[in-house]
Amino acid sequence: MTSIPILKILEPGASAPRGAAFLRLGFRPFYLGAAVLAALAVPVWMMVFLGQWVWAPALSPMLWHAHEMLLGFASAVIIGFLMTAVKAWTGLATPRGLPLGALALLWLSARIVVLTAPYLVYAVLDTLLLPIVALVLIRLLLRAGNTRNLPLAGLLLLLSAANAAFHLSVLGLLDLAPTRALHAALAVIVMVECVMAGRVIPGFSMSAIPGLRITALLWLERSALALTGLGLLLWVFAAPGWIASLTLGLAAAAHVWRQLRWKPLLTKQRPILWILHLSYAWIPVGLGLLALAQINLLALSAGLHALAVGTTGGLIIGMITRTARGHTGRTLQVSPAEVLAYVLVSVAALLRVLLPLLWPNLLLVWLTGAALAWSVAFAIYVFTYAPWLTQTRLDGKDG
């Protein structure tokens, strides 16, 4: 890859443990920042939605809510996870110290200026982070010859494109509905989750459950990912409803089959595992609901929130607890408070997705309950993990 000075600055050489613990590895600032955003932004959105707070910034409240959950919250977790994982995959150091702090500050500044500055300032700051991180990770993977994981870094570039399209559409520079760009962002995030879940969930399960053996069916893995990608693509680009519906329905069926092979019921005594299996189960639910929406049998919102709250929220709370514990030198045994956070995110998904379908006349009750459950879940994470994320590892190792 052609040498780019800023990428070299962001790629430190290997080093012994040194510097502020909070900036030693990407998961630390990005997990904590994402959790704080999740805990605060949803209650703010509900206050605006219920008319308790008048919204002044240029971006409409609905677009702000959707954008910040996808391209503020979820993207931060993906960035933190990948910067941490790429170091493990390649043996090469990812951004740390001041470069990592600069990336985290760039993310934080975008979250703040949307409330205080002209929209163009927000758009510029928000658009910069994802492509910078993607190029840094791609460069490291190429240096290490690790082509297997290049598609994941490539998905960050797709997420960058969706984010840029969103801002250009809001600014009136692109003839595209901003919601269409947000749908594309959700589609990319779901694809990242499908790829990573297929790698980590079976592996985590086999390592924790004695005697469990899970052998992947290559054709099923490829079919599930291909059908999901095609179905989401047809949805995002508004293909004829029956074609998108059929493809999404087939993708949902493939994910059910895929997950059944992972023996999810064997994990019911292990919260750190069942939260991942339960959250993955929302993928076929979300795809199925999207399929019904394409033929006008349901509103689109149910499918969107099944994937955004049930899948994305659930996988995130599961992964940011597990990986943060592992990378701070702690055991992979969660406390009752963390289990409560898992339950609350799962409850938030039920309240936001399924109960409004059954009792739509109580929509405000379900939305308020979902927002409260979600916010408390991520507040638990912040108060439990903030001391761990800002201190050195228990075993004294770097990272």
pLDDT (tens digit, 9 = 90+) per residue, 296-349?
999 999 999 999 999 999 999 999 999 999 999 999 899 999 999 999 999 999
Q: Which residues contact 217 (CB under 8 A, 6 or more apart)?
A: 261
Phi first, then psi: what are they for 173, rounded to 5°?
Answer: -95, -5
Closest CA to 316 of 116, 145, 77, 86: 77
Alpha carbons 205 and 277: distance in angstroms, whole number: 10
Which residue type sits at 104? A
In angstroms, how far is CA 101 from the centroid of its own chain?
A: 21
Res 92: pLDDT: 92
Helices (H), 144-210: 150-170, 178-208
Looking up tokens 């170091």 gives 87
Q: Which residues contact 268 (CB under 8 A, 6 or more apart)?
A: 274
Q: What is the DSSP letter of 52?
A: S
Instruction: Give the DSSP letter string of 219-279.
Output: HHHHHHHHHHHHHHHHHHTT--HHHHHHHHHHHHHHHHHHHHTT-GGGGTT-HHHHHHHHH
Res 42: pLDDT: 96
Alpha carbons 178 and 163: distance in angstroms, whole number: 10
The matching CATH number, chosen from 3.40.50.620, 3.40.50.2300, 1.20.210.10, 1.10.8.290, for 20-389 is: 1.20.210.10
Looking up tokens 């092979």 gives 261
Q: Are 90 and 141 in contact (CB under 8 A)?
A: yes
Alpha carbons 372 and 84: distance in angstroms, whole number: 30
Give me 151's structure tokens. 């598609």
Helix (H, G, I), strand (E, B) or coil at 215: coil
Helix (H, G, I), strand (E, B) or coil at 350: helix
Residues of the chain with pLDDT under 50: 1-3, 9, 14-15
Which residue type sits at 270? R
Q: What is the DSSP letter of 147?
A: G
Closest CA to 377 of 344, 336, 349: 344
Closest CA to 385 of 338, 344, 333: 338
Please tell me the pTM assigned to this model.
0.92
Alpha carbons 338 and 138: distance in angstroms, whole number: 34
Q: Are 55 and 63 in contact (CB under 8 A)?
A: no
Alpha carbons 344 and 64: distance in angstroms, whole number: 24
Closest CA to 103 of 83, 133, 127: 133
